Chains A and B, each alone.
Chain A
Amino acid sequence: GESVGLHLPTLSVQEGDNSIINCAYSNSASDYFIWYKQESGKGPQFIIDIRSNMDKRQGQRVTVLLNKTVKHLSLQIAATQPGDSAVYFCAENSPNSGYALNFGKGTSLLVTP
């Protein structure tokens, strides 16, 4: 079946550096993508989303890039802070998946001082 996966299960960065978390998807019909941050023991928190008619979207300290040619999605976090330490999930939706968001397994981001 279709899947959403992440290149790296863990990522360690120094405080102040930029972080890049990658995500590959396999469904070429996917037209909506979303990033969530989940801290230990808590529910996921929305970060940013992007539709397939865009290739870049910026938020506060975060940028999502979408490359539909290679079916790749990335989340860039500028000036990473200790509070950014969490597990990051990408998820996608396609026209034939109805209400379901298909989540990847997640990348653990650890920010060291």
Chain B
Amino acid sequence: SQTIHQWPATLVQPVGSPLSLECTVEGTSNPNLYWYRQAAGRGLQLLFYSVGIGQISSEVPQNLSASRPQDRQFILSSKKLLLSDSGFYLCAWSGLAGGKGEQYFGPGTRLTVT
């Protein structure tokens, strides 16, 4: 069966510090991978998605970036965090092309920028 992992689970970082969040998927090949951010009491906002190694599409301009160095690894980064980067970051994968199909979410990373 497929599983998706994210780490760390929680993170507190000062403004201006770098960020690296990691997501890995097991039990599937060539998944579509997604990074979402969820602000408190809000729905999910798609940040990035990837259909293959080295292929990244950005949905929202921001100071975050994403990379996919391996087929089942997706990394969310920032060189300098802003207060507004605080939130709950969720990684997801899907096995179908486009947005037509279930996206399976990881457990999330709670990021607090102080």
Listed in ascending order, the chain A residues whose CB lies under 8 Å from chain B are 4, 31-32, 34, 36, 41-46, 49, 51, 89, 91, 93, 97-101, 103-106
Contact in complex: A101, B59 (CB < 8 Å): no
Q: Which 8 A-B pairs have the closest CB atoms?
A: A93-B99, A43-B105, A103-B43, A103-B44, A46-B102, A99-B49, A100-B46, A32-B100
Task: Kindly identify, within residues 11 to 67 of chain B, every residue whose CB is under 8 Å from any CB belonging to chain A.
Answer: 32, 34, 41-46, 49, 51, 57, 59
A44 and B107 contact, Cβ closer than 8 Å, known pairs A34-B102, A93-B100: no
Are A106 and B43 in contact, with the CB atoms below 8 A? yes
Count A-B pairs with CB separation below 8 Å: 65
Within 8 A of A (CB), among B42-96: 42-46, 49, 51, 57, 59, 90, 92
CA gap between A4 and B99 in the complex, in Å: 15
The yes or no answer to B7 lying at the interface (CB within 8 A) is no
**Could you tell me if B43 and A42 are in contact, using CB atoms closer than 8 angstroms?**
no
The 23 sampled A-B contact pairs (Cβ below 8 Å) are: A4-B43, A32-B99, A32-B101, A36-B105, A43-B106, A44-B44, A44-B90, A44-B105, A45-B105, A46-B102, A46-B103, A49-B101, A91-B43, A93-B98, A97-B99, A99-B34, A99-B51, A99-B98, A100-B59, A103-B45, A106-B41, A106-B42, A106-B43
A67 to chain B, nearest CB (A): 20
**How far apart sit A34 and B41, CA to CA, in the bound complex (Å)?**
19
Residues of chain A with a CB closer than 8 A to B51's CB: 99
Tell me, rounded to whole Å, the shortest Cβ–Cβ distance linking A92 to chain B: 9
- Across the interface, which residues of A come within 8 angstroms of B92, CB to CB? 43
